[in-house]
Structure 1
């Protein structure tokens, strides 16, 4: 037991980071997608669901921007812990209240808390790992996003099998306490530890960083449509009603090893090259539901979605952390802000297009096109990555 409580041990730092991602990404964000089919039947309509998604992402965006200005490790730890408390209370509220205004406020604040756990938490993990090459270790850390989908979905399904969606939110809030306690303990203030001193070249904004930020914006757009509506997209396809929940669980399982695999490839073949390949696979996953009603291919779409969008988060944030190694939270926050803008934009145009055409097809076409722009711009600038190779 004492080994698990060692705050300097790299494995414990990674476990604490994964637990934080399960709370910040799984409970505070993805559980909404997992429970959406049940809530659409009993609580929400599709327009209000889209609004809640955008509100949540808006809170996440503000949190990511706020993270840019958190400089000291002491403040990072404090706001990381604020994120843990926010995730618990905003989740509990969803199980106890049905007032629309309360839900809007709750999802907004939950988004802010999610950013504290994702951006600030990942920055703490990266800063504290006592490893020369952190790319592979951060791949393990970001696998927590896949775990976040699987763990929260399985818990939600279990509760739904004998109760209702509101009890699922209460169960998720209890999960937050259990996992959050470990993260709270391990990622505390240790200003005097030598491995907390982040070394690296001074960071300066340049054209490549701007391209990276734009491309990550398009990934945010590419992520969020399926990230909000995937179970309902699958259920809406002729002959596939009832398979939506399975598709989300499959995406989560695909996501668990994806960061480890893709970031290992990035370590060998270059981050940008692997990012471009990953983005192309995500575009394919977005387009598959528009092209066929075949069950296998649509489950493949869900698999590719989970295997790419989670890895892209890890790839971009890890690259940003290396580029701005003297202050990884700064560029991680800037990247996450652009991602957040994409997440806010996409559900809003999705709602308009879904209501107009009574299907997801036009939304998915537009989303794939926006992502393609990100691929083209990044490809045209990929050689500029070389200047950061020795950071």
Structure 2
């Protein structure tokens, strides 16, 4: 495989993540203050719009667990690119909350295609072409998407109204769709031969079930900050008007963190890397509670960006390696828990913020869930060790 061709494939995958995750999902975060100021949206509605988006993501994850046909996966992946553009643009053409719910749900479906189908297809391509089966570069697209939406938000917030801003985000996605589509390899040629063992692991094992619980907790830690970080920053007198900068910092931290976690994982082991990533994510949440200074919130954004992306990248790559024949399926099973957390947590935190007037209680609840996630992660590791021991003792 020529290095130039490999670079084009990786670039296409990263750009697709920027479109289907960065813009289709994350453009909403810097848009929250704009829509609240222009339309007077309540915190509950803001949280519900995020919840509906993740409901679409969760639905997409469930559907993907039932898909084994590689050709269908490729077609749905391509459809996700188109849907990401259209659903973003149409957000600016209505003020009907129910239509917003529909559009954010559809956008969530496209995000699941970008994250899960995209990661699975790329993993298959990497294995087929004897490349390292790591997804750090792929998930750097999430950080790049955050950076892009933050920069665009700052450029367009003054000269354009909130509805025009949505259209601009969609047009940016349309431009990026061109290289993402044209550099896409023929993923249909990447099918791996099935083995008698079925792929090296049991998707319904105790290990996977506990790992799903751990990933649920990580989903809560991720989504609360992803949804409300800009709004939290803007609510602080000393940070009013600088919310976009905080979001940019999170994205800048996330972009290189993926491959740095890959390096750390190779040297020190994936479990130690995951323990550290979970702990750092919890620390970033704690800092939002105890330190309202500009420096404190910036540092929290750096730690958050670097940690959440590592959790996603390492978790999905780990299960993808266990099930190389059909990596999208176990990734989707794991993501079901992550998506469920993303559907529930914004609504809960938004409700608490409406009742109490700030995000403190919601952040404390999130911190507790992340601490529980570290415990679940440890139990998953122990379960894996027991299952590997039992497999080694059983006769072939």
Output the aligned Cα RMSD. Answer: 2.0
Quote how far apart the aligned CAs of 1:41 are: 0.6
1:92 and 2:89 matched: yes
Q: Report 1:243-282 matches (<5 A).
A: 243-282=242-281
Corresponding residue number in structure 2 for 1:339: 338
Q: Which residue of 1 aligns with 2:53?
A: 56
TM-score w.r.t. length of structure 2 = 0.91
Supply the distance in 2 between the matched residues of 1:127 and 1:80 (Cα, whole angstroms): 14
Q: Give 1:202 shift.
A: 4.0
- After superposition, the Cα gap between the structure-2 partners of 1:203 and 1:187, relative to the gap in structure 1 and judged at 3 Å, is farther
1:76 matched to 2:45? The reply is no
1:127 aligns to 2:124 (yes or no)? yes
CA drift at 1:388: 7.4
- Does the aligned pair in 2 maintain the 1:202–1:326 contact within 8 Å? no
1:299 aligns with 2:294: no
Residue 198 of structure 1 contacts residue 327 of structure 1 at CA under 8 Å; is this kept in 2?
no
**2:181 maps to 1:172:** no
Q: Which sections of structure 2, spanning at least 5 residues, go unmatched?
A: 390-396
TM-superposed deviation, 1:22: 0.4
Question: Offset at 1:189?
Answer: 4.1
Measure, in 1, the Cα distance between the counterparts of 2:245 and 2:343: 26
Q: How far is 1:222 from its partner?
A: 0.6
The 1:81/1:132 distance shift into structure 2, 3 A limit, reads closer
How many residue pairs align between the two structures?
Answer: 380
TM-score if structure 1 supplies the norm length?
A: 0.92
3-state DSSP of counterpart to 1:69: coil
Deviates more, 1:177-186 or 1:265-274: 177-186
Aligned mates of 1:199, 1:265 — CA distance in 2: 31
Deviations, residues 18-77 of structure 1 (Å, cap 9, x unaligned): 111101111111100022111111123222111100000000000011111121221111
Paired position in structure 1 for 2:24 = 28
The question of whether the paired residues in 2 share the 8 Å contact of 1:20 and 1:118 is answered with no
2:158 to 156, 161, 166: 161
Q: What stretches of structure 1 move > 4 A for 4+ residues in a row? A: 383-389
Question: Quick check: 1:77–1:188 contact (8 Å CA) kept in 2?
Answer: no
Question: Which position in structure 2 is the counterpart of 1:197?
Answer: 192
Q: 1:144 maps to what in 2?
A: 141
Q: CA deviation at 1:384?
A: 4.7
Name the CA distance, whole Å, in 2 between partners of 1:326 and 1:104: 36
Whether 1:183 aligns to 2:180 is yes
Q: Distance in 1 between matches of 2:194 and 2:363?
A: 42
C-alpha contact (below 8 Å) 1:124/1:187 kept by paired residues: no
Relative to 1, partners in 2 of residues 1:381 and 1:61: Cα closer, same or farther, differing over 3 Å?
closer
Residue 177 of structure 1, CA deviation: 1.8
Distance 2:282 2:329 in 1: 28
Task: Quote the residue 1:10 is aligned against.
Answer: 6
| In structure 2, distance between residues paired with 1:217 and 1:10 | 33
In structure 1, what is the Cα distance between the partners aligned to 2:98 and 2:92? Answer: 14
Q: Which 10-residue stretch deviates more, 375-384 or 33-42?
A: 375-384
Give 3-state SS (helix, strand or coil) of 1:29's partner: coil
Say if 2:364 is the partner of 1:365: yes
